[in-house]
Chains A and B, each alone.
Chain A
Amino acid sequence: MSSQEYAFVVLALVGTVSAVRVVTARNVIRAALYLVATLGSVGAAYLLLGAEFVGWVQILIYVGAIVILFLFGLMLTKAPIGREALDNRSRAVAALVGLAILAGLVFLIQNAFAWSDPKMELAQATSGAIGESVFRHYVLPFEAVSFVLLAALIGAVVLSRKDERP
């Protein structure tokens, strides 16, 4: 294993362990903070793989904006503490389904790729190249996504506004 692989394995382990803590934590605020660790290590893994623009976007948007939104959501609603308040009774079935999906995916990946065969060259994908790709080949999807964001923004404002009925 190369040193980059060791670094990636460490990041993946940190991300996986804190993802497990996100779905098992008994305190909702702690779950949100473990989500920061997961998203941060995923972003660091992007940087390690050479996708620098997506890595920084991940850290900016997920850690900077979405987690803050989650924290606001948790603090504006009741945030109970404890396993019974946060998890429902079908935990065992859920764990079974999750493990089955994990086993299936691992089996498929093992089947599809020889363990040592496809190796990634860790060349940088520069922001300039990504910008060129977005604005040359994917202008229309880009506009569609920005329209979706605008619609979501207006929708969120409309939904959370207090109705003033006469």
Chain B
Amino acid sequence: MIRLPLVLFFSAALFSIGVYGVLARRNAVLVLMSIELMLNAVNVNLIGFSQLWRDLTGQVFALFVIAVAAAEVGIGLAIVMLIYRNRETINVDEVSLLKW
């Protein structure tokens, strides 16, 4: 027996830490890590509610989220590598070509 609010508080903590990381970090790889933290928070919620209602849909969608996160990291790191090769930096505040 685990009370659901415990699971939800854990997820909320992970999500807000991820938000802080995305806003505060300069290094693009660390920003991607913080995004992973937020995706994990979503997955914790999905698993918690899936086990609460005895419905496997949440777990199936958690698997889909994991797959999409893997794809996102692959593409994200490829883009980071490309930026590094062209600009010699991966600080997100220095890559401001699209900013007016």
Where the two chains meet, the residues of A that have a C-beta atom closer than 8 Å to any C-beta of B are 2, 4-5, 8-9, 12, 15-16, 19-20, 22-23, 28, 31-32, 35, 38-39, 42, 45-46, 48-51, 53-54, 57-58, 61-62, 65-66, 69-70, 72-74, 76-78, 80, 85-88, 90-91, 93-95, 97-99, 101-102, 105-106, 109-110, 113, 115-116, 118-123, 125, 129-130, 133-134, 137-138, 141-142, 145-146, 148-149, 151-153, 155-156, 159-160
Where the two chains meet, the residues of B that have a C-beta atom closer than 8 Å to any C-beta of A are 1-10, 12-21, 23-27, 29-30, 32-34, 36-37, 40, 43-44, 47-48, 50-52, 54, 56-57, 59-60, 62-64, 66-75, 77-82, 84, 88-90, 93
Instruction: Give Cα distance in the complex from A108 to B2, angstroms.
Output: 19
Instruction: Give Cα distance in the complex from A46 to B4, angstroms.
Output: 13
Tally A-B pairs: CB < 8 A. Answer: 259
The secondary structure that dominates the A interface is: helix
Taking A57-B66, A73-B81 as contacts, is the C-beta distance between A15 and B90 under 8 angstroms?
A: no
A61 touches B70 (CB 8 A): yes
Which residue of chain B lies nearest to A19 when distances are taken between CB atoms in the complex?
Answer: B17
B30 touches A31 (CB 8 A): yes
